[in-house]
Structure 1
Amino acid sequence: MSQNYAPKEELPFSVEAERAVLGGIMLKNDAWDLVSNLILEEDFYQEEHKLIFKTIKDLQDLGKPIDLITVQETIEGNGNLPELINLGGKNYLTQLAKETPSVANIESYAEIIKQRSNLRRLINTVDKISEVARESDSSSSDQVLDNAEEQILSLRDDVKRSQGPRNVKEWLGDVYSEIQIANESGSSLVGISTGFKVIDELTLGFQKSDLIIIAGRPSMGKTALALNIAENVAEETNKTVLVFSMEMAAEQVIRRFISSIAKIDLQRLVRGELDDPDFEGVDKAMTLLSSRNILLDDTPALTPAELRSRSRRIMRENKDLAMIVVDYIGLMQVPGRSDNRVAEISEISRSLKALAKELNIPVVALSQLNRAVDSRPKKQPILSDLRDSGALEQDADVIAFLYRHEYYDESDLESKGKALINIAKQRNGPTGTKTLAFRAEIARFENLAMNDDYIPPQFYEDRGDYSE
């Protein structure tokens, strides 16, 4: 095997694997189907090999046969033959075909090419990160670290995406095991219990890889419900729950936890109007919170990339991340998209769904509703009320609307201390409306007593132009 090739730098590559793949495709057209999903033109290290692979792809796209003659004629016809001169011109193509070790092993050769390509990309990425780090001042080190992590993880995502389709039989074992476990558990839940019976009945628990949107107008109790669920999941699973609080500072969130668990009026807690029994309750609540692995990040205005990066880091470090809570979507931002809020929310929505799927855990995200809800006679939310984007409706697996009738009609005594949870969309289950007890003074939702599932008559009245 004679060639005048000499690598320009010490980077991982396998010229033998590249030659074997190109020669194999020219010997057997069907070989293209075996490797085209594994490698791309840019995965080849040698420039001449990139040219040959691109020529083969162009022929395939045109529906023309691929062999030594057609590849040679196409390269020559396009005026690209001089690019092969260093390797022997036309004779090099003949060598590729003659010296291919085995077409039967072409997938293995393609995998070698891909592995070397991934390593080269990693090296190039690290070099760029190193250059940025050298040019940055110490005050920007956190941003440099975040960007570095995102670049590395983005590379990892690209590697996963390149894996392509797999036969369903590869998943059958895992799915069957899940079916067996569910059958033997004796529980009707197949996901994580929220701690609220009526929500669990409708959803069968929050499912892995699901994006769950909890939406409502201000003062409906969205944050309270999300924190209650986070607390319940941490207790039920004995695993980690990660809460991103972009609206409230960490200290405010902790006060809410304490108020809810100790059942002490939040305003009294904030003002410091506590007596000895109250302090006993606070001590017990703090002990309880200390025993639960709830992680809290109160960084404001996170980008999707930052949120995904931090979530991945927690998953790597803890291995037992059970759920993520994002409070709330409207406070996230996307660099370069500030002039188009709809596009911004769409990107955030897609990113959260991708995160849920990647980490294989439920992601609970809170969302505001349009002000139009308050201006119409019937205040009950519908899917079109989701603020700024229909992407949330499209991407979410579950959409739950929170509605408290007493907020709008204090004269309705039956609805006092109650909240409606309306599962308006559920990709893999039923929709429906249920009632929870809500104690606003301690920001706590609770299960209702039996036969107390009151739903205001107005909820079932004709919604006219507002119905879906």
Structure 2
Amino acid sequence: MKKEFLEKSILGTMLEENYLILDSNLTPEMFYGQHHRMLFTMMRELALEDHPVDFMTLSARFEQVTQIGLPYVTELIHFSNPEKFDAYVQLQREVWCEKQKGQILFQANEGDWPIPQIIHALDQTQLEGDFHDTTILQTLAHMENRPFEETITPGIVIPHIQDLALLIDGFRPGEVTILAARPSMGKTDMMNNLALYAGWNGHLPIIFSLEMSTRSLLDRCIATAGNYSRLKLRNPKQYFTSEQAKNWSIVLNRVHQSNVQIDDRSHLAIAQIRAQARRIIRQNPNLKPIIFIDYLQIIQSENDQDFSAIATSKISRSLKQMAKELNCPIICLSQLNRNVESRGNKRPMMSDLRDSGSIEQDADIIVFLYRDSYYNTDVREDLDLLELIVAKNRNGPTGTAYAFYNRMTGHVLSRGSS
């Protein structure tokens, strides 16, 4: 990609998504074209003052915009590409670093620099525009009264299932939870329940449904929220009671109050998920996000040539990076391989995860779903006992939590709930 088009895409995306101006950690010196350096300097100045950055504010504030040309600035938006922004910024930094390295080595040769000076100069190039505070004093100061105050973790999502909350405490920002089970065990319903209850408790649930359409997913949410049988929901006019029909608008409003956001595009890569999540989070600054993905094995690989295990490894690692970058919990559904079906005890274990090595390593929490009634038809009831087997918990105990699962409505309830 030519440097000019690379920089146009970066600047165009920044004009569309202003928060990226400062989040990118780029500096004006990293832009090759002089007019691009000038434009980025002006954009950053407005962003630092918390002003909107667009054609109008730039032209009103800076006379230099006329040197660049107003049509040129307005056309940059056509090069916007939020989904590839992070990759383009990384490429921009690499191009700049290579240029700086060449200049440093030339100066070192001309000035006969000692080896330590050369190493120091090259290290500074790598750190330019990417400052990260590594001191711990301020963090320790915030902990001073910790033994005497209630522990509050901003953004933590406490599951509505009490047994599970006792085991994992909550879904924490920066952590990835894998929710895995065999098909038809209740993964998607479990995800919907966690999303609805998180939303009703003031969070921002963002669901990436790569397998199911928004309409189908909403039908399931409506059935759960309204305690409707999904069979009746196929034709409400024919099967609903008058009371159920009367409460319909109330239930729809209840689902709306959950603030659930759904992206049902089927071919999404991690970069697209990250870009969309970042946009939704910025549009809802007063709500703490939690991201759900259904499901891991159908997330699009960035490289179609990768073998399945390699693709899963890259995706798994990227999920963890995204959770830390966005500072929110991520709950990702996952399939299990068929090994479980050949055992007498069909409760899942780590080795049953498809391409399990990288998932085991990257996930903070791994929860398997198991219902004995799925395999034992003699105990099959509408209200099933659901086992939530916490097989990995990086910061807490493992064990099994129990809940009741209503197969007709998709509702997952704590034991003792009505």
| TM-score, scaled relative to structure 1 | 0.62
Choose from 210, 214, 221 the match for 1:250: 214
Q: Who is 1:76 aligned against? A: none
Choose from 150, 159, 182 the match for 1:194: 159
AA matched with 2:338? R
Q: Which deviates more from structure 2 when the two are superposed, residues 408-417 or residues 435-444?
A: 408-417
8 Å contact kept, 1:400–1:422: yes
Choose from 266, 271, 277 the match for 1:305: 271
Q: Who is 1:372 aligned against? A: 339
Q: Who is 2:246 aligned against? A: 280
Task: Describe the SS at the equivalent of 1:399.
Answer: strand
Task: Describe the SS at the equivalent of 2:311.
Answer: helix
Question: Separation in 2 of the partners of 1:394 and 1:275?
Answer: 50
AA matched with 1:354? Q
Please report how far the alpha carbon of residue 47 of structure 1 lies from its aligned counterpart in structure 2 after TM superposition: 5.3
Instruction: Please give the residue correspondences for 1:38-187 in structure 2 after superposition, counting only pairs within 5 Å.
Output: 42=97, 48-52=103-107, 60=115, 66=117, 162-163=130-131, 166-175=134-143, 182-183=150-151
8 Å contact kept, 1:369–1:386: yes
Task: Describe the SS at the equivalent of 2:377.
Answer: coil
Please report how far the alpha carbon of residue 52 of structure 1 lies from its aligned counterpart in structure 2 after TM superposition: 2.9
Please report how far the alpha carbon of residue 271 of structure 1 lies from its aligned counterpart in structure 2 after TM superposition: 3.0
1:91-122 deviation line (CA, Å, top 9, x unaligned) = xxxxxxxxxxxxxxx99xx98x889x7xxxxx
Choose from 295, 301, 306 the match for 1:334: 301
8 Å contact kept, 1:266–1:441: yes
Task: Describe the SS at the equivalent of 1:278.
Answer: helix
AA matched with 1:257? C
Q: Which runs of 5+ in 1 are unaligned?
A: 1-7, 14-38, 72-105, 118-158, 453-468
Q: Who is 1:448 aligned against? A: 415
Percent identical: 28
Please report how far the alpha carbon of residue 411 of structure 1 lies from its aligned counterpart in structure 2 after TM superposition: 1.9
Instruction: Please give the residue correspondences for 1:417-456 in structure 2 after superposition, counting only pairs within 5 Å.
Output: 417-449=384-416
Q: Who is 1:211 aligned against? A: 176
Task: Describe the SS at the equivalent of 1:411.
Answer: helix
Question: Separation in 2 of the partners of 1:219 and 1:170?
Answer: 49
AA matched with 1:403? Y
Please report how far the alpha carbon of residue 316 of structure 1 lies from its aligned counterpart in structure 2 after TM superposition: 2.0
Choose from 232, 241, 245 the match for 2:197: 232
Instruction: Figure out how many residues of one structure are paired with residues of the other and give that number.
Output: 327
Question: Separation in 1 of the partners of 2:336 and 2:272?
Answer: 25
8 Å contact kept, 1:190–1:205: no
Please report how far the alpha carbon of residue 50 of structure 1 lies from its aligned counterpart in structure 2 after TM superposition: 4.8
| TM-score, scaled relative to structure 2 | 0.69
1:46–1:293 CA distance, 2 compared to 1 (3 A):
same
AA matched with 2:175? D
- Max radius of gyration: which structure? 1
1:250–1:381 CA distance, 2 compared to 1 (3 A):
same
Q: Who is 2:6 aligned against? A: none
AA matched with 1:182? E
Please report how far the alpha carbon of residue 263 of structure 1 lies from its aligned counterpart in structure 2 after TM superposition: 0.5
Question: Separation in 2 of the partners of 1:225 and 1:325?
Answer: 11
8 Å contact kept, 2:97–2:126: no
1:387 paired with 2:411, answer no
1:9–1:251 CA distance, 2 compared to 1 (3 A):
closer
AA matched with 1:204? D
1:111-158 deviation line (CA, Å, top 9, x unaligned) = 8x889x7xxxxxxxxxxxxxxxxxxxxxxxxxxxxxxxxxxxxxxxxx
Please report how far the alpha carbon of residue 177 of structure 1 lies from its aligned counterpart in structure 2 after TM superposition: 7.4
1:176–1:403 CA distance, 2 compared to 1 (3 A):
farther
Please report how far the alpha carbon of residue 412 of structure 1 lies from its aligned counterpart in structure 2 after TM superposition: 3.7
Task: Describe the SS at the equivalent of 1:442.
Answer: coil
1:152-178 deviation line (CA, Å, top 9, x unaligned) = xxxxxxx5xx43561222432455577
AA matched with 1:167? T
8 Å contact kept, 1:241–1:324: yes
1:353–1:339 CA distance, 2 compared to 1 (3 A):
closer
AA matched with 2:135? N
Q: Who is 2:29 aligned against? A: none
Question: Separation in 2 of the partners of 1:195 and 1:45?
Answer: 54
AA matched with 2:404? A
Q: Which deviates more from structure 2 when the two are superposed, residues 49-58 or residues 298-307?
A: 49-58
8 Å contact kept, 1:209–1:361: yes
Q: Which runs of 5+ in 2 are unaligned?
A: 1-31, 39-93
1:198–1:370 CA distance, 2 compared to 1 (3 A):
same
Instruction: Please give the residue correspondences for 1:341-380 in structure 2 after superposition, counting only pairs within 5 Å.
Output: 341-380=308-347
1:55–1:386 CA distance, 2 compared to 1 (3 A):
farther
8 Å contact kept, 2:199–2:257: no
Could you say what the CA RMSD is over the residues aligned between the two structures, in angstroms?
Answer: 3.6
1:417–1:44 CA distance, 2 compared to 1 (3 A):
same
Task: Describe the SS at the equivalent of 2:183.
Answer: coil
Task: Describe the SS at the equivalent of 2:276.
Answer: helix
Please report how far the alpha carbon of residue 208 of structure 1 lies from its aligned counterpart in structure 2 after TM superposition: 1.3
Higher RCO, 1 or 2 (CA under 8 Å, sep at least 6)? 2
1:383-413 deviation line (CA, Å, top 9, x unaligned) = 1111123111110000000000110012246
1:242–1:222 CA distance, 2 compared to 1 (3 A):
same
8 Å contact kept, 1:190–1:204: no
Q: Who is 1:10 aligned against? A: 34
